[in-house]
Amino acid sequence: MNLPLNPSPNSRPIGIFDSGVGGLTVARQLRRVLPHEDLLYLGDTARVPYGTKSPATVVRFACEDTGFLVGRDVKAVVVACNTASAWALEELQQRFTLPVFGVILPGAAAALRRTRTGRIGVIGTPATIRSEAYTRAILGQRADARVFARACPLLVPLVEEGWVNHRVSRLVLEEYLRPLLRQRIDTLVLGCTHYPLLKRVIRQVVGPDVALIDSAESCARHVAEQLQLRTLLTAHRTAGELRACLTDETTRFTQVARRFLGEPVAPAEKVELAGVD
């Protein structure tokens, strides 16, 4: 067999991880902007959710997730999980030598490009909101912006239940978003992997005048720009593949994953993660 001795390092996959299957919303956007790239997705389904865990636990899990992807020889890592980006991105960038990208900075930058009044709402898991990562990222770029943040712990289970256009989700969103709307926000950051699936209902609740920032979309654009800048894009012109690994078997994986990814997914490989010091 004539295998190339030194396959191009750029043809290696981009690694993506999330606490579960929600990060497939980021994979979906990556496939849109970088259709020729292979993606290796890790969902830590054995330990989901991260959004209710302590910062130290989230950082440890994120290091183990990244270590796994690095062990599979990816060329870059995308932290698709907002909670892990909020708490662990700096640690990952210090610990690992390959490029590691998160969702927070691109989402904050996109919100600042869209806002006219500087009054920005942010919704996310309790851990993401407690980190104040979005608030710091927004104020770091525009000191006179006003950020109104709200944790929305019920939204992840509602989306996982598939209740994305359900009246219960609408009621819950009305309750969560009322205080932000009272603050006259003109832009709302969807700071969680699961929220893009609720966009329709969120739009109905906030009305036509509030800009919705999909952190998955802005992250994918940022990753594409950065890989191009670092000359890390693949030269392949065939459609890229998406392979998924999970830390726990989930019988509903292909069904749930399809909802998040917007296209069928091959069955996932069950993997074990090694601990980190």
Per CB under 6 A, 18 contacts ligand DGL: yes
Return the closest-CA partner of residue 44 out of 85, 89, 82, 81.
Answer: 81
Per CB under 6 A, 51 contacts ligand DGL: yes
Q: Are 169 and 152 in contact (CB under 8 A)?
A: no
Q: Is 113 exposed, middle or buried (0-12, 13-18, 19+ CB in 10 A)?
A: exposed
**Site track for ligand DGL across 188-207, x = CB under 6 A:** ----xxx-------------
Quote the CA–CA distance of 232 and 83 in Å, as a whole number: 27
Token code pair at residue 93: 């960038």
Per CB under 6 A, 78 contacts ligand DGL: no
Q: Are 79 and 100 in contact (CB under 8 A)?
A: yes
| Identity of residue 252 | R
Per CB under 6 A, 125 contacts ligand DGL: yes
Per CB under 6 A, 48 contacts ligand DGL: yes
Give the DSSP H/E element, type plus range, for residue 176. Answer: helix 167-182
CB-wise, 19 or 247, nearer to ligand DGL?
19
Residue from 128, 169, 218, 247 touching ligand DGL (CB under 6 A): that is: 128
**Site track for ligand DGL across 134-173, x = CB under 6 A:** ----------------------x-----------------
Rounded to the nearest 5°, which phi and psi values hold at 240?
A: -70, 160
Token code pair at residue 105: 């900075």
CB-wise, 104 or 232, nearer to ligand DGL?
104
Catalytic positions are: 81, 192
Question: Which region, judged by CB under 6 A, interacts with ligand DGL, from 16-24, 63-71, 130-138, 216-224?
Answer: 16-24
Neighbours of 179 (CB within 10 A): 12
The least CB distance from residue 145 to ligand DGL, in Å, is: 22
Token code pair at residue 149: 């943040």
Site for ligand DGL in 218-277 (CB under 6 A): none
The least CB distance from residue 183 to ligand DGL, in Å, is: 23
Residue ranges binding ligand DGL (CB under 6 A)? 18-20, 22, 48-51, 81-83, 125, 128, 156, 192-194
